[in-house]
Every structure is written in C-alpha cells, then in structure tokens.
Amino acid sequence: MIQTGLISNAHGDLVTDAVYDFYGLRLATCSLDQRIKVWRLEESGGTWSVEDDWKAHDAPVSKLSWAHPEFGSIIASGSFDRTVKDMGANPISTMPPLPAYGGSPSSSRWVERASLYDARGTIRAVEFAPHHFGLKLATIATDNILRIYECLEQPTLSSWQLIDEIDIANIAPGPSPTHVTRAQTAALATPTQTHATLDGASATLVAQALRETQQASSVPPSRAGLGNREADGGWTLSWCKDPYWGEIIAAGAGNNGVVKIIQLNSRRSHVLFTLEGSASTGFAASSNPSQAGGNDLTQQGAPASLASYSVTSVAWAPSCGRSYHLIATAGRDGHVRIWKLKPPPEDMGDDDAMHEDGKWTATSVGDFDHHKSAVGRVEWNITGTVLSSAGNDGRIRLWKATANNVWRLAGSIGVEQTAEEPAGQPESKDVDMEN
C-alpha cells in the first residue's frame, strides 16, 4: 500500500460519505456540515481541487450516489435531518449541474432538481440502479423501508415517482406464499435456524399484511416497538449489477445480522434469499480465513439464531463474467463476510422456476474478524476482485482471492501514528500535499 495523495481538510466537520464518479475523476463528499462538495482530480499533479461546494440540506448529509453518466451528471444525497424528521420526512435531492455551455468543467454548477420526502426516518443509504434499468434510485431509511424511485422526466429530472416501497422487516419471502414454503425453507432452513422457520410459518400472514398495507397505500408501522433507533431500521443496500436476473437489491436492516436479497417486481417484490452470518462469539474469537471456504448454507447447519448485530454495509460485486455473484457484508460484530450467491441453473424453464431446484443458493466463501471491532464499510473495486473494508480498529483492509479462489487478506493501512514515525513528518512518504 502506498499513499498517493491527500486532501488535508475536506469539510468544516466530519465527512460522512465520499463517492467517486463513474470515471474516478470526480469525488463527491458530504459532511455533518450539511454541505456537498465535488472535487476534481488534476491528473497531471494528482491533486484534488474543489469544483463546486454547496449547502445541500438543513441537517447533516448521510450518503451520496452518482448516477450513470449516460444520464448526465447527477448526484443523489440522503440526509439525517432531524428537524425534517420531526416533520415526518427527510429530503433526498438529485442535483445535476446546469448545462455547461463552454464545455469547461468550471462553468458547471450544481442545482437541486428534486426533493423526495417519503422517508420517515434518517436516510441511511442511497444508490442509483445499474443504468440498464433506467434512471432509478433506491433508498433505505431508519423507518425500515426500502424505496425505489424512477425519474419520469429525464431532461429536467424534476419528476420522480415512488414505484416501490418495501418493508424490509416484513417482506414476504418468495414469489408467492405457496412457493415460499418449500424453496426457501429447503434452501435456508437448518434445524436451528429460527428465522427461516418463522419466515415460512408466517409467510401467509405477512403477505396478507402486505396486501392490506398496500391497499391502504400507507407505510406499515414497522418501527413500532423498536427501541434503539440507531441500531434498528434500514442500514444499507446494494444493487445487483448484472441485468440478467432483473432488478435485485441486497438490503440490510435491523440488528439480526441478516441481509435480504430482494427481487424487485412491478407486481410484488419478494425476498429471493436471506444471508445470515453466524452469530459472533466476540471480537476476540479467532476465525481462520483458510477454513472459511465451503460453508454451504444449503448443506451445513446453523447460522446461529441469536445473532444480534447490524449489517452496516453490503456491497454487491460486479459479476464480470462469473457464473455466480459475490456479496460482501460488514457487521458490527466485527466480521467481514463474503458470500457466493449462485442463481438457479440457466436451463430451467419458466415452469421449473417454481421447482425446488430452481432456487438461489449461497455459500460463505470468506468470514474474517481481523478488524476485531465493528466494521462500517465494505466496497468492491470495479472488477469485483478486490474488496476493501473499514473497521473501528482504524485500519482499511483489502481482500483478494488467490489462484485457488481462497479469499485472503491482501493488504492493510491504518490511520494511527506508527511507533517509529514522529507526527507531522510527511516527507518520508510519497505524499502529495494539497494546500
């Protein structure tokens, strides 16, 4: 690992998110200072300079996402505006720049094009859909609702329609209540797995509840009775990048260590699969990464039923020609987990989709507790070959697969002073200081 650059002071308060654009030439950052900044990389010198900077919300900004450039320069931002929350809504703003007449980046200016007020809690994650699906945006908030929006007026970006609202806690597993009983329990349930059993048993009731709430066209009161709002509610989401299987989102909510893989459907979205990490036995517990492979959920037992941690970040890897998907999760139990998700065999006809063999299966291919403390973020590189994770141990770790497809640690870098290096001596490294 080598340090290649530095922005010495990005914001007036803690940065809450930083996201690269499609090319990696611009970096959008947001902060507790309620501002969004767009930085541009000066390629010759490798330094970053502010291209635009504006106050985006009336509260800290929590998350950002860039749309695919075929839709233009568009950023969505989510906020944890407590004052707005009290009013029962949090804004999400999409902000494309005004057209740049001269073709010069310096002439572009960002303006707010739309605000979406549906969420009833802090927006914890926003992510634009892969471009094949059009200009769509998914959000998840502490109200436990995954919302999908679609832009109806692309040139103006003024009109966004809420096309789906999914209560993560209560969404029915499986495409239909009857189908769920076999495919889901067979794929997931183990003798000790209470979640799956509950899902199966209550599927009909859940479906019924969903129908009722949909008819009432109101958000189900899923947060009722939940105590610690910081720990509960929706945490994270990630779109499946491969259009082949339709619109699929992995979403993490609550504190049961579960990530739900949700197939979006105009008629009724449903859970394709549920990923459950085994309960943490504490940060000190050792986890040998070399033994991590081959933990097939369909065959082996017992992801523990007493998991009580939140999955704070989920990242769906670009599939890049692989016959399976990789999903990484970061948990407050201190684990970075990598799941291999296999779609049903391609030669299954439509009729067979209901067949037991037509199910998705998941295998844990990596479970690492190197951070020994809560992990807050996981992210893949664009080819889905390097996973990076950030933990409360103050270190960033990189994970890669070996030639034999075993995932292992490939590097790490920390932010603590190293013992031998006195503070404020950047000369010893190749650092490009930004003034």
Partner 1 sequence: MTRTERIGASEESVVPAIVESGEFSELVDEGQTISLAQSPLDGSLGIFVVPTHTAEDPTKAHSTRLNEEQPIYFVNQHTPPSAERRMFLADTFAIFSALRKLVTAPEFQSTTSLGEDRRVAYVRKLAIDFVNFIKECWIHASRPVARPGGPLQFSSDHYRSLYTCFSLFVVLFIPEEGYANAPVGDELMEWQNTHFIEPSTEEGDQLSGLEKPWEDDTFWPYLTRAIIRGLNKASTFFLSVLSGHPSEEIQHLTETLISLIQSQPRLDNFSSEKEFALSTRRWKDKVQALRIGLDRVPESKRFDGFENWWERLSDIVGVLEGRGDVLKRVCEEQGGDWKEVCVAWGIFVDPRMRRDDLFETAKDIIAEMPSDPTNLEDNIHAAMFSGQFEETLHSSSQLDLWLSAHLSEFMGATGLLQVKEDADLSPRDFHILEYAEYVYCDHALWHITIEYMYSCGEIGKSRGDQILERVPLRFFQQTSDHATAERIRSGDVVGVLKEVNEACLQHRREGVRRTVCKIAARNFVQEKNYGLAASYCTSAEDWSGLGHIVDHVLEEYVQGSAFFVEHASSIAPLVQKLSTQPNLSGVFYYRLIFVTRFARLQGLLRRKEYADAASDLVAIVREDMAPASWWAVVLYDSIPLLDYEPKLLFSSSEASLLLRKLEDISIKTSQGAGLEYLNVLSRRVHVKEQADLLKELKLVRLALARYFARCAVLDG
Distance of closest approach, residue 389 Cβ to partner 1, in angstroms? 8
Instruction: Let me know the angle formed at the C-alpha of 237 by 407 and 384, rounded to the nearest 5 degrees.
Output: 30
Query: Which is nearer to partner 1, 22 or 177 (by Cβ)?
Result: 22
Distance in angstroms (rounded) separating the CA atoms of residues 236 and 232:
12
Binding status of residue 326 toward partner 1 by CB under 8 A: no
Distance of closest approach, residue 173 Cβ to partner 1, in angstroms? 26
Length of the chain: 435
Query: Which is nearer to partner 1, 137 or 387 (by Cβ)?
Result: 387
Q: Which of residues 341-380 bind partner 1 (CB under 8 A)?
A: 373-374, 376-377, 379-380
Distance in angstroms (rounded) separating the CA atoms of residues 373 and 188:
28
Binding status of residue 419 toward partner 1 by CB under 8 A: yes
Query: Which is nearer to partner 1, 8 or 266 (by Cβ)?
Result: 8
Q: Locate 13 and state its tokens.
A: 């308060």
Q: What is the dihedral of CA 89, 246, 274, 161, to 10 degrees?
A: 10
CB 268 within 8 Å of CB 163? no
Query: Which is nearer to partner 1, 215 or 428 (by Cβ)?
Result: 428
Distance of closest approach, residue 176 Cβ to partner 1, in angstroms? 32
Q: Which of residues 73-92 bind partner 1 (CB under 8 A)?
A: 80
Binding status of residue 311 toward partner 1 by CB under 8 A: no
Strand boundaries in 206-277, DSSP class E: 234-239, 248-253, 258-263, 270-276
- What are the φ/ψ torsions at residue 213 (nearest 5 degrees)? -70, -35
Distance in angstroms (rounded) separating the CA atoms of residues 318 and 411:
21
Distance of closest approach, residue 216 Cβ to partner 1, in angstroms? 26
Q: What is the dihedral of CA 46, 52, 55, 59, to 10 degrees?
A: -30
Written as one letter, the residue type at 426 is: P
Q: Among the candidate windows 166-174, 178-186, 319-327, 352-360, which touches partner 1 by CB under 8 A? A: 319-327
Distance in angstroms (rounded) separating the CA atoms of residues 125 and 359:
28
Query: Which is nearer to partner 1, 132 or 211 (by Cβ)?
Result: 132
Among 72, 130, 177, 358, interactor with partner 1 by CB under 8 A: 72
Query: Which is nearer to partner 1, 101 or 224 (by Cβ)?
Result: 101
Q: State in Å, rounded, how far the first CA of the chain is from the last one.
A: 23
Contacts of 121 (CB under 8 A, 6+ apart): 85, 90, 141, 142, 143, 144, 223, 229, 233, 234
Q: Which of residues 11-30 bind partner 1 (CB under 8 A)?
A: 11-25, 27, 29
Q: Binding string to partner 1 for residues 95 to 134, with x set by CB under 8 A, is what? A: ----xxx-xxx-------------------------x---
- Is residue 56 helix, strand or coil? coil
Binding status of residue 406 toward partner 1 by CB under 8 A: no
Q: Binding string to partner 1 for residues 190 to 209, with x set by CB under 8 A, is what? A: --------------------
Q: Which of residues 228-257 bind partner 1 (CB under 8 A)?
A: 230-231, 235
Binding status of residue 426 toward partner 1 by CB under 8 A: yes
Q: Which of residues 30-49 bind partner 1 (CB under 8 A)?
A: 31-32, 41, 48
Binding status of residue 226 toward partner 1 by CB under 8 A: no
Distance of closest approach, residue 40 Cβ to partner 1, in angstroms? 9
- What are the φ/ψ torsions at residue 133 (nearest 5 degrees)? -90, 5
Distance in angstroms (rounded) separating the CA atoms of residues 183 and 189:
10
CB 234 within 8 Å of CB 168? yes
Binding status of residue 334 toward partner 1 by CB under 8 A: no
- Is residue 427 helix, strand or coil? helix
Among 90, 312, 329, 364, interactor with partner 1 by CB under 8 A: 312
Q: Among the candidate windows 10-18, 110-118, 174-182, 286-294, which touches partner 1 by CB under 8 A? A: 10-18
